[in-house]
Amino acid sequence: MTEEEYSQERKRMVVEQIASRGLRDPRLLAVMEAVPRHRFVPLDHLNWAYADGPLPIGFGQTISQPYIVAFMTDALHLIGSERVLEVGTGSGYQAAILGQLAAEVHTIEFIPELSAQAEKVLQELGFTNIHIHSGDGSLGWLEAAPYDSILVAAAAPRLPQPLMDQLAEGGRIILPVGSRGFQQLEIWERRGKKFKHEASIPVAFVPLRGEHGWR
Ligand code: SAM
């Protein structure tokens, strides 16, 4: 497929999978239309790069469904000045979307091989505001804290305390919480010492590992 054909596929993805489900922020839709998802997908799945679902990326992990990437990004209410933490770099696609809508992104991946591959693609695409780290993201990434927004792209048994501690005043966290098989997205917001949270849509993410994940 040519780049022009991929670009047409992306336009269709945005209209049919994202805008049609109620996400209408023009900045978000423009970024979803611009970032080449096919660059983050393994070669043997290229034909499905713009399909309406997650895809395997090796090591038993997945690149999330485009709609879920858009939904989680939208829930952070980014205006462009934020420092964002992502837990679960995976392919690097979600980080690329965040990198277009925030000032600075720190993303952590548990599996070093995935981290290295994501770094390579993000470098090739010219991202300079995305910092990739290898390690246990259930502990957050203290070196660059506090964060205005935190997005966890793996299913947690509960919101990890270190992530609450590393969230800035007024900041938002979105993460899937529930069992290993099924979860709900939860959106947390910090107001001084207090946190309020609401449950959102049902999802099925791969498990969060590490100290505050599933053992
Ligand atoms: N955001 C990714 C993307 O755009 O491709 C998809 C993430 S995938 C659904 C979940 C990722 O979280 C996997 O790559 C997995 O290895 C990673 N992960 C699981 N537990 C982790 C942890 N404690 N710290 C960092 N990454 C973790």
For strand 130-134 and strand 104-109, is the pairing parallel, antiparallel, or unpaired?
A: parallel
**pTM, two decimal places:** 0.98
Amino acid at 147: Y
Task: Tell me if 6 is assigned to some domain.
Answer: no
pLDDT reported for residue 83? 98
Which residues form the domain of 101? Answer: 52-203
Query: Has residue 42 been placed in a domain?
Result: no
In the block, tokens 């246990």 appear at 136
pLDDT at 215: 82
Element at 26 (helix H, strand E):
helix 26-34
Ligand 1 center to residue 146 CA distance, Å? Answer: 21
Is the CB–ligand 1 distance for residue 203 below 6 Å?
Answer: no
Would residue 167 count as lying in a domain? yes
Query: Is 82 within a domain?
Result: yes
| Tokens representing residue 143 in the block | 């070196």
- For residue 39, being part of any structural domain is answered with no
121 assigned to some structural domain? yes
Q: Parallel, antiparallel, or unpaired: how do β-strands 194-203 and 183-191 relate?
A: antiparallel
Of 89, 114, 166, 214, the residue with max ligand 1 atoms within 8 A of its CB, to mutate for a pocket test, comes to 89
Q: Please say whether the beta carbons of 67 and 21 come within 8 A.
A: yes
3-state secondary structure labels for all residues of 125-155: CCCCCEEEEECCHHHCCHHHCCEEEEEECCE
Question: Which atom, in ligand 1's list, is nearest to the CA of 54?
Answer: 9
Distance 62 CA to ligand 1 centre (A): 8
Name the strand (E) or helix (H) holding 181. none
Q: What letters, b where the CB count within 10 A reaches 16 and e where it falls short, cover 175-214?
A: bbbbeeeebebbbbebeeeeeeeeeeeebbbbbbbbebbe
**Under 8 Å between Cβ of 98 and 83:** no
Q: Domain with 180 in it: what CATH number?
A: 3.40.50.150
Report the alpha-carbon distance of residue 56 to residue 44 in Å, rounded. Answer: 10
22: in domain = no
Per-run averaged pLDDT (10 residues), the chain, 215 residues: 96 98 98 98 97 98 98 98 98 98 98 98 98 98 98 98 97 97 97 95 97 94
Query: Does the C-beta of 107 come closer than 6 Å to ligand 1?
Result: no
In a domain, 68, yes or no: yes
Does residue 140 contact residue 166 with C-beta atoms inside 8 Å?
yes
Count of the separate structural domains present in the chain: 1
Cβ atoms within 10 Å, residue 103: 14
- Closest atom of ligand 1 relative to the 59 alpha carbon: 16
Backbone angles phi, psi at 54, to 5 degrees: -75, 165
Which of the residues are catalytic?
A: 64
How far is 58 from 78, CA to CA, in rounded Å?
30
